[in-house]
Structure 1
Amino acid sequence: MKKSLLALAVLGAFAGVAQAQTSVTIYGSFDAGVRNQRDIDAAGHSRTTMSSTGTYNSNRLGFKGVEDLGGGLNAHFTLESGFNSGTGELNNTQNRLFQRSAFVGLGGQWGSLDLGRQYTVAFKTVGAYDPFNYKFTGIIPLTGASVSAGTRVDNDIQYTGTFGPITARAEYALGEQVGGGGNNSHAAIGGTYANGPLSFGAAYTARKPNVATGTAPANFQDNKNWTVGGAFTFGPARIAAGYQNEKQDRATGGDAGQKNAWVGGSYDITPALGLTAAYYHTKVDANAVGVGNTTAGKRGLFIVGATYALSKRTNFYADIDYAKYKDGLETPSTGTNTILTQSSLRSAPGQDSMLGFSVGINHLF
């Protein structure tokens, strides 16, 4: 009996040491607000909604864990789920519980190597020169249009290393297709330089997505995407600008292109009150993949947003945004009241512009 009690005591001591070396953090963001959009259908109707996955800041519930393995090495993981603040539903139609992030990896002074569903290299790079720092993502086109290389990718093997002012990134996402050959794969490299008030970055992505439509057999074609931009901070102000260029090979020959450019700035009027404004311009070639237009077109989006911090974790926000569509991105009137979202690359039927207003509260925990 004494030996058994002694063994249990020793095991308990080791368990305490192991637990002390492992830390798990629960975190998240809860964003709820009201949004009004005008000219959302052929009749020029407006709509006011609450349901969203976060108007200002994306809703999320996350878990992060880090274990010290000794010798400067650590094991870590991230699981992050998104949700709709109006309904409590998951933020995706595939019912993925951890749709936002699900990866595990090893890290040390040499950097970090992670495997799983992750934010892409292009997405992380553009974050350094987005005027809104990836806020109002459901309105601003960067996550869907300007980072055509994707926001997140499955089956991703990604390396990140920071050496002084330079952060280097590289990734390869498995296509998991029979026969291999790179079909459905995703590869990228990127880097960011940040030193004092100046930061800039660039990334290049090569993919081979399936461009077949309907019930047609799979048809994997090359996609090339690159982006570059920078930001400069001086006192309470910050200016940022960027550019993105994408080429997608068509199944029938030739290619389709999409270009995006943006510029904007922010100013902290007081420690609590901040104001940001930016312009985002999108240009697509004829028959661009995923757009469905038959002629080339353009879209311009101007947005002004304001935040007022009640604390370090809670703030009020508001925005006004105006999108103008031209040529192939201006949808002809169909006589129906088909409702589109502001994040669509095309206008509502019979409309050449859309106007939106948002107001709400965001809490971080």
Structure 2
Amino acid sequence: MKARWSLGFLSISAALAGNAHAQSNVTLYGIIDTGIQYYNNATAAGGSVVGMPSLSGKLPSRFGLKGVEDLGGGYRAFFVLENGFAVNNGALGYGGRIFGRAANVGIDSQYGSLTLGRQMNMTLYALTDADVIGPSNHSLAVFDTYLPNARSDNAIGYMGKWRGFTLGGTYSFGRDAAGPAGASATNCAGQVPGDFVACRQYTAMLAYASDNFGVTASYDVMRGGTGASAPLSSSADTDTRTIVDGYAKYGSLKFGAGWIRRNTSSTTHSQSDIFFAGGTYLLTPAISVDAQAVRYILRTRSDATLVVGRVSYFLSKRTSVYSSAGYIFNSPSSAIPVSAGGSVGTGKNQVGFMVGMQQRF
């Protein structure tokens, strides 16, 4: 009897050890990125700001856990938990959520990946290659804070790749449970009994990429809900973004350009366009140079133009230092700052500088 019990115990232990080994492919990763910035004309009366940015340096700071388990037959289970935080004061980003950047689980196979939970949606994927500056302190984020924060709560996502083509989409039952605080929080959790479309969101993307060039198109529709942040305070209200962009590579040079159209339909209608073009060049294996120009037009109201330049020096594969400079030209009725999360007097042009450091792990 004792021998049988011992054999049974060993069998269970071996099974648990095998399961633990199968699930052990878990990676801790992250980026810590911050610096010191300066910009002028912070108010209508003028005045300058010197300090540390709270939203982003070259990239937003984050840490996360991701894991993959091979299920056999070409299928893999995966999960991602990713936190976003401010280095200057340690505060949680994305509406104060522990895993505000991502919290999802899914299955991946030769047919594509299916993801459940909070995840990047297709608007963010569509900008990944063409926007050479990315979600930095001086970037597209100053015109539309949603662009570097394009994620959806309560979402089902799919992405498949075949012969250079990528097809992806997300559907959210309630696009944003955080709010009202936060750069992208909108307090629209949805899933309301009797109001099926409240806070729904769907995004779609079609892309083609080769070794030397790529093109992408995406479509993003958000619905509002009762109590949500303006202007989407009703489920009849919509906010739609269309993106068409592309990139090309030649040796150490990469060029990217695109167009973003936004239409907001609520008690009032607004339409805006963003045109961007830029390039990045690897001068040496340790030095890269990036530059981008962005034109913003808010129909019948205002317009602005942003010019950005950045130099990065890689101390190692994981550590770099950088310097970024931006200048924004505002029309008389425009008040768009050169720095994400910054301020500017209406109709005033603004210059901004930043020096920073980034560490990856």
Return the TM-score normalized by structure 2.
0.88
Using a 3 Å threshold, how does the CA distance of structure 1 residues 71 and 11 change in structure 2: closer, same or farther?
same
Q: Which residue of 2 aligns with 1:190?
A: 205
2:274 paired with 1:260? yes
Q: Distance in 1 between matches of 2:32 and 2:55?
A: 9
In structure 2, stretches of 5+ residues that fail to align are 175-190
Q: Which residue of 2 aligns with 1:360?
A: 356
2:114 paired with 1:118? no
**Which of 170, 179, 201 is matched with 2:216 structurally?**
201
Q: Which residue of 1 aligns with 2:260?
A: 244
Instruction: Provide Cα deviations, 1:315-354, integer angstroms capped at 9, x if missing partner.
Output: 11110101111143149xxxxxxxx782369x62355111
Instruction: Provide Cα deviations, 1:19-49, integer angstroms capped at 9, x if missing partner.
Output: 2222111000011211111111123211111
Q: For 1:14, what is the secondary structure of its paired residue?
A: helix
Q: For 2:123, what is the secondary structure of its paired residue?
A: helix
- Written as runs of structure 1 = structure 2, the 5 A alignment for 1:302-313 is 302-313=307-318
Instruction: Provide Cα deviations, 1:160-215, integer angstroms capped at 9, x if missing partner.
Output: 01112111101111131332342211112102211111111001122222497779
**Superposition deviation, residue 233 in structure 1:** 0.5
Q: Distance in 2 between matches of 1:142 and 1:49?
A: 19
Q: Which residue of 2 aligns with 1:283?
A: 297
Q: Distance in 2 between matches of 1:55 and 1:149?
A: 13
Q: Which residue of 1 aligns with 2:4?
A: 3
**Superposition deviation, residue 230 in structure 1:** 0.6
Q: Distance in 2 between matches of 1:305 and 1:57?
A: 13
Q: For 2:193, what is the secondary structure of its paired residue?
A: coil
Using a 3 Å threshold, how does the CA distance of structure 1 residues 326 and 218 change in structure 2: closer, same or farther?
same
CA contact (8 A) 2:327 2:338 kept: no
Q: For 2:331, what is the secondary structure of its paired residue?
A: strand
Using a 3 Å threshold, how does the CA distance of structure 1 residues 217 and 60 change in structure 2: closer, same or farther?
closer
Runs of 4+ in structure 1 deviating by more than 4 angstroms, as ranges, are 146-150, 210-217
Q: Which residue of 1 aligns with 2:156?
A: 157
Instruction: Provide Cα deviations, 1:291-329, integer angstroms capped at 9, x if missing partner.
Output: xxxxx1011110000100111111111101011111431
Instruction: Please provide the CA RMSD for this pair.
Output: 2.5
Q: Distance in 2 between matches of 1:341 and 1:70?
A: 50
Q: Distance in 2 between matches of 1:120 and 1:143?
A: 20
Q: Which amino acid aligns with 2:288?
A: G
CA contact (8 A) 2:157 2:170 kept: yes
CA contact (8 A) 2:326 2:338 kept: no
More displaced, 145-154 or 13-22?
A: 145-154
* Matched length: 342
Using a 3 Å threshold, how does the CA distance of structure 1 residues 80 and 143 change in structure 2: closer, same or farther?
farther
Q: Which amino acid aligns with 2:202?
A: A
2:172 paired with 1:170? no
2:96 paired with 1:95? yes
Q: For 2:131, what is the secondary structure of its paired residue?
A: coil
Q: Which amino acid aligns with 1:32?
A: T
Q: Distance in 2 between matches of 1:214 and 1:166?
A: 37
In structure 1, stretches of 5+ residues that fail to align are 287-295, 332-339
Q: Which residue of 2 aligns with 1:45?
A: 47
Q: Distance in 2 between matches of 1:214 and 1:198?
A: 39
Instruction: Provide Cα deviations, 1:45-88, integer angstroms capped at 9, x if missing partner.
Output: 11111253430121111000111111111111100001111222
Q: Which residue of 2 aligns with 1:292?
A: none
Q: Distance in 2 between matches of 1:143 and 1:10?
A: 59
Q: Which amino acid aligns with 1:354?
A: Q
